[in-house]
Amino acid sequence: MGTGGFGIFLSRAHGATSIAPAVVEKILDDLLEHDLSCAPHVAARLAVELSGDPQTILAVAARLDADQRRGLRALPSPLPMVPSVEALFAQLELDDRDRAVLVAVSLRLDDRLDPLVDFAGRSAAELAGGPLGSLLDIHAGRVRLADPRLAIWLRATTTSSMAAAVHSRLHRLFDARGERVDADWHGARAAVHGEPVTAGELTRIAREHSEAGLSERAFHLAAEAAAHSSGIERDEATLVAGVAAIAAGYAVEAACRLGSLFPDGDELYRLQGLGGLLVAEAHLRGSVPEVDTSVVQPRIDDDAHWYSWARASAFAAMLCAERGDRRGMRSWLEALRRASGRVDADSELRDPVVALAWLVIGDGETDDVRGTGPLSGSMLLALRAAVEGDVDRALRLLAAGDSAIGVEVDPFVAGFELSPLVAAYRGIVEVLLLMWRGDIGAARDRMLSAALELPVAVPFAGLGVVIARRLDLAVLGHLGPFAKALTAALPAPSRIDQLVDRGIEAFLAGNSAEAASCMRLWRDRGAPQPTLSVPGLEEAIVVTHGASWRPHRIEPPEIALAQRLRVQITSCSDDEWRVERPLVVAAARTLTSPFSRGRVEAMIGTRSLIKGDIAIGREHLSMARNLLEVSGATAWARAIAARLDRVEVADGAAVAGDPLSSCRRVWESMLTARELEVAMLAVGGASNRDIADSLHVSVRTVEVHLGRVFAKLEVRTRVELTVLAHRIGQFV
């Protein structure tokens, strides 16, 4: 047992926050080019542990399996030895005493200098000035390996007996210092393989670290305990390992370990692990597994068993809500109701979870019920405040839950309030709130920082991946390495529909016909989208499908207002527009989100240009560009700037080229299929006789259709129809 663990604690316990997003972006690009896609937080971890060396990162990533790269399984500890690491330290020669010091640095739970000084029998100055000085980073009472790659080399070149001996010495040292956690850890690692007391100590330590938010560390400790125990002790260790795994985002690890408790594991541990198992399976499968509740619910009439069953039911209900499964959610909420009633947990567990589940699935009419802690407390309050229209307050409420004063116990996720998975949920909600407020640039920055550290693809059925893609498109105009890597890291059943993203990219590039085509295909496929509203391409949806089509989404009232204004802009007649334009302009001014208002102003400007009101159109487009720049949506701002450039060049003249594709998109929701055919042929220059021959109808029928077209489009002649078509082709 004393032979492993090099580098796992010192380099991983503190996350990857020192790595800049730009560095990881380059790493992700390189990995994608070699078909080695990694989740961003995995790539950031590799960058930390491999000193950012591109050659070594690429070589190590190639030695990992797909689940490890996607963050679904833990990275091996130590990381694999590769030729570049071997070559880096090929000339390093160490005597046994110095090697033991370096091994001790690699094996310890933290990086405090004092215990290492005691272990080495040398002062800090002697360590810094001696042969180990260049290999150690000693600063402010802390000591680490100067190059974390050295841990890999040490593991490959140090005997198991020496590693066990170092653990034994550290055990005695920490025991003398009265530091029980460290002493127990090193004592367990130095113990004989399979010794029962070793497993018990490891499980106990793992529980402590899991509750402290050190989920990965807890997983490794408990997994080793499970490997060296049997019976109920093994069930307990397996439970701790499994729930720590899903808390870290390791869905494959969690499904394997927690699944092994069924059907023969201890009932209490099965029930305590069921919620984590359902989270893992839902992420891997894309849907919540069908469970026969009569088989898995408690058979023992004990409060602990029924409370654990209530929590498992709460997890299942939330997972169903995230995936829009109302039937499943209702079923699990009923199970939660029955179980919480038996253990008097209605107010602390059932009521907040019910409120959160209904809010997430799309029922904004929630009462004032709230829980405590990071999810059923501040996250629920924040979402509710945003849906009620106060996004600023929502952000404050969410931030208050992250204050240093202390995290409240949350009965829903008790013991995991500080876990990476809970942090990922809160991070995604923060990004969503920033998007709703219109701070697109800030939202993307927060998304990148969260993706560097957390399993952001797991919460809300992959909502984080959808958000990352939309933010990249809004800022860059195309998908960047982070969004591509997150998409590739999703398990196959959870892959998102990408038609909206393709539509946005085409729209921002000026290809409105392709954008509309993507949106038609997307709607034909059932318009899949998150219930929690994420900005899409509502402009194309309105033009293509008219005012009647509107999916139900959970969003602040302001976003719903912006969409109603888009519908109003595109659906009213020209006569109506002359009356309604001032009303739309006034309503647009009430939008506080620069992103939402900027998009509405752009549509007002475009509608004005099509009608020939060049000065008014230019004014609104300029306002839209400025607002979108302020929001940080630089790709949207560039698209509007390009439209303004066309206005300046043409100054209202007809555009050269074929306007038919844009006209067809705009007019198809206003004209019948035959009227559209006649209008397109007329714009193309065909005479009434030519149109009649082409469509195999009479000239009189063509005249009737043209009359209806003129009336609907409020033009009087073919010339006005053609001018209108060219304006659409130029400005839409």
* 535 and 642 belong to one structural domain: yes
* pLDDT value of position 724: 80
In angstroms, the CA 442 to CA 176 distance is 50
C-alpha R_g of the chain? 31
**Per the structure block, which two tokens stand in for 51?**
């000193």
In angstroms, the CA 135 to CA 141 distance is 16
* 73 and 18 belong to one structural domain: yes
How far, rounded to the nearest angstrom, does the alpha carbon of residue 639 sit from its chain's CA centroid? 26
* pLDDT value of position 252: 97
Residue 154 is assigned to a structural domain of this protein? no
Domain end position, chosen among 464, 496, 528: 496
In angstroms, the CA 343 to CA 725 distance is 69
Residue 178 is assigned to a structural domain of this protein? no
Residue 131 is assigned to a structural domain of this protein? no
In angstroms, the CA 224 to CA 436 distance is 45
* pLDDT value of position 363: 75
Domain end position, chosen among 52, 80, 108: 80
The answer to whether 263 touches 288, Cβ cutoff 8 Å, is no
* pLDDT value of position 19: 84
* 525 and 623 belong to one structural domain: yes
Burial 20-42 (b: 16+ CB within 10 A, else e): ebebbbbbbebbeeeebbbbbbb
* 529 and 492 belong to one structural domain: no
| Domain total of the chain | 5
Find all residues with CB under 8 Å of 482, minimum gap 6, and list them. Answer: 21, 24, 25, 28, 40, 447, 448, 451, 468, 472
* 591 and 709 belong to one structural domain: no
In angstroms, the CA 732 to CA 729 distance is 6
* 75 and 203 belong to one structural domain: no
Domain end position, chosen among 629, 650, 671: 650
In angstroms, the CA 558 to CA 389 distance is 7
| Residue 98: how many other CB atoms lie within 10 Å | 16
Tell me phi and psi for residue 138, to 5 degrees. -110, 120
* 518 and 638 belong to one structural domain: yes
- Model pTM? 0.86
What is the domain range of residue 489?
419-496
In angstroms, the CA 724 to CA 671 distance is 15
In angstroms, the CA 668 to CA 545 distance is 9
3-state DSSP assignment of residue 179: coil
pLDDT along the chain (732 residues), means of 10: 43 52 94 95 95 95 96 93 95 94 92 95 93 94 94 92 93 92 81 67 89 92 88 96 97 97 94 97 94 88 95 97 94 96 93 94 72 92 94 94 72 94 97 98 97 96 96 97 94 82 93 84 86 88 48 86 91 84 95 97 90 88 96 96 79 47 70 86 86 89 90 80 74 60
* 530 and 645 belong to one structural domain: yes
CATH of the domain at 710: 1.10.10.10
Residue 438 is assigned to a structural domain of this protein? yes
* pLDDT value of position 379: 95
**Per the structure block, which two tokens stand in for 722?**
């053609």
* pLDDT value of position 520: 84
Residue 299 is assigned to a structural domain of this protein? no
In angstroms, the CA 181 to CA 171 distance is 10
CA atoms within 13 Å, Cβ hemisphere of 125: 0
* 634 and 514 belong to one structural domain: yes
Residue 721 is assigned to a structural domain of this protein? yes
- Of 192, 178, 224, the closest CA to residue 205 belongs to 224
* 519 and 629 belong to one structural domain: yes
Q: Would you put residue 452 in left (φ > 0), alpha (ψ -120 to 50) or beta?
A: alpha
* 539 and 628 belong to one structural domain: yes
Residue 537 is assigned to a structural domain of this protein? yes
The answer to whether 629 touches 637, Cβ cutoff 8 Å, is yes
* pLDDT value of position 367: 66
Residue 94 is assigned to a structural domain of this protein? no
* 457 and 518 belong to one structural domain: no
